Amino acid sequence: MKNLADIMKQAGQMQARMADMQARLEATIIEGQSGGGMVKVKMTGKSVVTGLDIDPSLLKADEKEILEDLIIAALADAKNKAENIMAAEMKTVTGGMPLPPGFSL
Residue 55's DSSP bridge partners are none
Q: Is residue 103 part of a domain?
A: no
Length of the chain: 105
Domain extent, residue 66, equals: 2-94
Measured distance CA(28)–CA(21) in Å, rounded: 10
- The stretch 21-46 carries a mean pLDDT of 92
- The stretch 71-75 carries a mean pLDDT of 94
Q: Is residue 101 part of a domain?
A: no
Write down the pTM of the prediction: 0.69
- Cα 93 to its chain centre, rounded Å, is 16
Least confident window among 28-32, 37-41, 98-102: 98-102
Q: Has residue 105 got a pLDDT over 80?
A: no
pLDDT band at 86 (very low <50, low <70, confident <90, very high): confident
Looking up residue 84, the CATH number of its domain turns out to be 3.30.1310.10
pLDDT band at 31 (very low <50, low <70, confident <90, very high): very high
* Tally of domains within the chain: 1
